[in-house]
Chains A and B, each alone.
Chain A
Amino acid sequence: MSEPKKEKKPAEPKSHGWMAEYDCDHKLLDACRKVRDSGYTKTDAFTPFPIHGIDEALGIKPTVLPWFTFFAGFTGTCTALTMQYYFNAVDYPYIISGKPFASWPAFIPVTFELTVLFAAFTTVFAMLGLNGLPKFSNPVFSNPRFDRVTDDRFFLWIDASDQYYNSDKVRALLADTGPLEVEEVMEDDTPDAIPRKLLITIFTGIAASLIPLVIVMNMRNSKSGASRLHVFFDMDYQPKRKTQTPTTIFENNRVQQPPVPGTVAMGELDFADPYYLGYDPDKTVALNEASAETRFVSLQDEEGSENEAAAAEAPPKLAFLDEFPDGVVTDEMFDIGKAKFEQVCAACHGFSGYGDGLVSQRANNIGAANWANPTSLHSPTVRPQPVGQIYHTIANGKGKMGSYGPTLNPKERWAVVLYVKTLQRSQDGEESDIPTGATVEELDLRPDAAKAKPAASNAEPGTPSEQIALPEKPATAEPAVEEPASEDPAATDTTEKPAETETPAAEPEKPAEEPATEEPDASETPAEEPAAEEPSTEEPATSESTTSEEPPAEEPAKESGSSESDE
């Protein structure tokens, strides 16, 4: 606590304020409070580190900076939401991954970013503005003792602009707070103009930095005959030949050599093989010879009759395969087909193939525009289709159905065809499909069939099926029930139905339902009585061999359940 020295400087420069120096923060805080209580407001403290409670001690009001931050952030939020809504939903509506144009969840990340961006920038610049920064010089720097403010000294400042400022009183007040030193700081009288050299350098620099931009702009808007500059010469001129240019290396002077005869490109093996096409290309050629001629003629002279023109326009008929290729009709393929059908096809066509898949139900529920109901695989148009045609439909699509070639490889396509054929057969069985002597229980391989067994074997005609129909969730099978009933009401008979429908063992409920609805019919048909009442009198071991497609249809039912007798 040394005595404050008298100001020695000449009196002419104006006083900028008084500065007191302390060696510890507690003294500074005490001094601050004293100065604050004396009514001075244009004060400041300079310290090597932040001191808690200094703003309260100096009487500094809470900053308004948070309000800047808040409103800037809010502006950012609104800007982002408005901007995205306008861009995406109004100005340039564009479907992105099937979402609505105004996808609020998708807007949120950008909203978050803009909120933070606006808030952060505003905070920084408002802070600079509120503090009067940047400031390149301050008269306090003229005091050499002030250098220690970044080290171990604490300074209190009373500015000359304070309304109660009086040089002597201020000095007396500060001297009373126990400072190491009290010193008046004079206005800095050194010239404050920016040096001319510096200005010139700055402007030259700015001007020079614009030169590349000017050159680029000029280049982009003018034409030049000069050849371009090859910075990377060996990149522009590589030692290679391009396609369609001559060479002397090969005898035929061609860079691009034709493939060796007999070459098959990768992945192109399906070219002209019925297994990959679903139709026989040779037969197709034969089948279309006539129309091909017509087409040829109509192409030659354009006066062809309307019929001819139509014939020419018509797509060539394809000679679809009627029978499965070798190796398709196996249990393993049936399993693949069932799995793939349920993964890929069932969403639209439904698990039992009636075109009532969940997607379709949903589309109908929401009244989707342009929705075409999926074709029922049991419709009269689909049912007679040869296997090759179904294969072709899967591979290439048809109508609104897209191609599933990329999804299913040829083996899987055939497996699905096998399963579809099984499904069709399961809904369209004939009396002759029933193995004579088989019982309902034997044919019924559902997991819960075992439970129904005892009751079923003793039951009246018709009852067994009813009991099978009863267990679990009858409601789910509704759609499947209606159609077959309407399609061929008379021809069906109960025992035959379960036998057939059981084949796709995955859906126990649905097939089980049908017999129940058919019951009145069923009781009239005599054929079923022996089936129900004589269990296991004859159990031929051979598996059914109806048409080439059918055997696999019995897959899960296979040996145990099916018998060939009636065929």
Chain B
Amino acid sequence: MASNIPNDKLFLPPSWRGMASVLMIAGLICIMLSAAICYLAGSSEVDGWTIFCHSYLANYVFCLTICLGALFFVMVTHLVRASWCASFRRIAELFAFTIPLWAILFIPILLTAYTKNDWLYPWALGPDSDLPGIVKNKLDYLNPLWFTIRVAIYFAVWIFAARFYFTMSRKQDETGDSEITLKLQKWAGPMIMLFALSVNFGAFDIVMSTDPAWFSTIYGVYIFAASMLSFFATTILSCYLLQRNGRIEKFVNTEHFQDMSKFQFGFIVFWSYIAFSQFLLYWYGNLPEETTWYMHRGEHGWLELGFVLIALHFVVPFLGTMSRHIRRRKAIMAGWACFILFVHALDMLFLVMPYEGIHLSFSLLLGHFVCWAGMFCLFVSIVLMRVGDTPLVAVKDPWLSESLAYEVGP
């Protein structure tokens, strides 16, 4: 087997590693700058701090979903004993293993829940406020302490799973023990169940409870669909950029790109399907407590954003990445991956931001995207730091040779 493995550069380009600290500083500056812009974007109806908090949450979720998608990808490919992805699964493992750092970045969000302000979570105002009765009835569930406990549990599950898969895979790098792969496969099933529950409830708690009166049981699946989509886009982009720098060239070939692109295409459709299912039922039912969420998104410029999402998050990439000939061209697919990441950011904006009194304005968009740029810099920086001198390919993965010989059917 060893002879099969191409002798290729397996580590990050050194210049990239130096970028980590720069990016981190740039990211923090951008986030602070965005706070200033958002502050100015505030109006009489809503203060700028609320806008900034929403922007932070939206962009935080943007990054977290990528990591969660990576975690799920690692687990599900072990579960089904997928061999084709063995050559780039390490990249997904690395993305997933940044979740502990995202847990730290969640602390500011958590703190807003303790401030008795509705900067992010109206339920944080507590029982003595003039919250509507429907929200007050939920306060037994949506209160800061219980919220903290739940979020801690979700992060515990994610961190445990990510750490388990990463460390075991690293161990295999040294020992080459194929028993490890069997062990990872054995635990994938239970962990996916835990993952499904934690992502679902995490979506309810972290994102959906910004509008605590509203509820949607498919919301977790929506976030999951967005996670997988953004994960595949990020992986395509990372592989492309690494190969541009002469890394892992012989490990990730056109066939892998085509399959990742296929998955990306599939999740474009899946996202649309879930998003539309949610909308259709509420539109048909037309019940006041269910339509409020969409009512917020039907005014103050958000409706236009909704139509933009339909076009850019579904129609354009659906038609654009449909063809096999496109999917097999790495540079074009890298371009599409950037596009998908952009619309994913728009999607998160649409999920989190529209709120009573927040109007879609230029200054808000500017503030939001500066925050997005900052958060994305942080994301890249965190990933680069996490990678460090870890090899980018699990060289002793027993599936690796099969993965290298992988070829997509005609």
A interface with B by C-beta (< 8 Å): 50, 52-55, 62-63, 66, 70, 97-99, 105-106, 108-109
Contacts and interface: CB of A to CB of B under 8 A. Distances in A.
B280 interface: yes
A113 B283 CA distance: 20
B407 A53 contact: yes
B286 interface: yes
Interface string B239-279: 00000000000000000000000000000000000001001
B136 to A, nearest CB: 14
Given A105-B279, A108-B276, A108-B280, A98 B286 contact: yes
A106 B407 contact: no
| Interface range, B side | 10 to 19
A98 B324 CA distance: 44
Contacts of A108: 276, 280
A52 B284 contact: no
Q: What are the 5 closest A-B residue pairs judged by CB atoms, nearest first? A: A52-B407, A105-B283, A55-B410, A105-B280, A50-B409
A322 to B, nearest CB: 36
Given A105-B279, A105-B280, A66 B324 contact: yes
A109 B407 contact: no
Contacts of A98: 286
Contact of B284 (A54, A70, A97): A97
B361 interface: no
A106 B284 contact: yes
A54 B324 CA distance: 17
Given A99-B284, A105-B279, 4 more contacts: A52-B408, A54-B410, A62-B325, A97-B286
Contact of A66 (B283, B284, B323): B323
Nearest to A54: B410
B245 to A, nearest CB: 29
A50 B410 CA distance: 9
B298 to A, nearest CB: 13
B322 interface: yes
Contacts of A97: 284, 286
A66 B322 CA distance: 10
B224 to A, nearest CB: 21
27 contacts: A50-B409, A52-B407, A52-B408, A52-B409, A53-B407, A54-B410, A55-B410, A62-B324, A62-B325, A63-B410, A66-B323, A66-B324, A70-B322, A97-B284, A97-B286, A98-B286, A99-B284, A105-B276, A105-B279, A105-B280, A105-B283, A105-B284, A106-B280, A106-B284, A108-B276, A108-B280, A109-B280
B399 to A, nearest CB: 17
A66 B323 CA distance: 8
Most B C-beta atoms less than 10 A away, residue of A52, A53, A54, A66: A52
Contacts of A99: 284
Interface in B15-50: none
Nearest to A74: B319
B323 to A, nearest CB: 7
Nearest to A97: B284
Contacts of B410: 54-55, 63
Contacts of B279: 105
Interface in B359-410: 407-410
Contacts of B325: 62
Interface string B319-331: 0001111000000
A105 B306 CA distance: 14
Contacts of A106: 280, 284
Contacts of B408: 52
Contacts of A55: 410
